[in-house]
Structures are given as structure tokens and as C-alpha cells.
Amino acid sequence: MQVEEKEFFFKKATSSDSTDFWYGPHLGEPIPNKEAFFKDFEEYYFTDFKNAKGRCFHILESDEKIGQINYNEIKERVVEIDIIIYDKENWSKGYGSSSVKLMSAYLEEKFHVESIFIEVHSKNKRAVKAYEKAGFTISGEQVDNGQTFYRLERKNKYL
């Protein structure tokens, strides 16, 4: 994803079928305005492919931008990833699990990470299934604002 595509990403992340999985009162987090959104997704997420601080990528199907996947700052060979498949018409088609597998392989090879994790609301069964299909296992859970979230983790089997 490039700098000029930030606006597209903001619109999709804050007003698509998947927005409720990232934001909303039920998660205890309001939908951010542009300023707040880009405080989380700083410029480096859109500029440098060699960046250990974080990077955003489009998920494409037949040249259509159907989602986004990113990694956050790599710390002590551990990294968190996030993913969003924007519209319901593209859910449950394997795009999420294949994108997570690809991102995991990229991070393991390029940055030699030991562990990759993702946090997901416990009610998002479809996402949990996709991450498990991509080699992740539930390694913990936490309650935040009365909501339960799972932490799913994948260990680099080549280290």
C-alpha cells in the first residue's frame, strides 16, 4: 500500500462490513476520525518495505482491493499482525487465511521473527477459524471493557 492509498484504507476500515470487528461501542472503542486513525497508522506503514516498525499491504483478488493486512513494530523478534477483509461478499472464501499465511512466511523469512500473534474478539468465530487454518493457536485470552479477546500465536518452526 502506498501513501496515496491511505484515504482509501481509512474509508474502508471505518465504513465497511468489517468495521465492527475493529471498532465500535461493543468493543469499547469509537470509530476514529482521520487524525486518530493515522496516529495509529503512521506514514512508515505506507512507505518502506524494509521497515521493522510496521507496513500495510492490500489484499487483492483479480486486481480488486478486498482487504488489508499489516504487521506492527517488531520487538524482540515478536510481531502482531492485523487483517481486515472489507466486505461480506469476500468473507469465508479463504482470503484471510491465505493472506495471514503469506504475511507470516514473509515476516519469518525477511525479519526472522520467532513469534507472530493476532488478537481477535472471541465472538468472531470465522476469524478464529481462518487464523487456525493459517497455523495459529489460541495462546491466551483477556477481558477488556467486559469483552473477551483471544490471542492467537504462531511460532516460527524454522528457528
**Which strands, in side-by-side order, build the sheet including 115-121?**
55-61, 64-71, 78-85, 115-121, 147-155, 137-144
Q: Which residues of the chain have pLDDT under 50?
A: none
Write out pLDDT tens, residues 57-83: 999 999 999 999 999 999 999 999 999
Question: What pLDDT score does 112 carry?
Answer: 93
The residues, any chain, with a CB within 8 Å of residue 23's CB and separated by 6 or more, are 14, 29, 30, 31, 32
Kindly list the domain boundaries of the chain, sorted by start residue: 3-115
**CATH number for the segment(s) 3-115:** 3.40.630.30
Residue 135, Cβ neighbours under 10 Å: how many? 17
Q: Report the SS3 class of residue 2.
A: coil
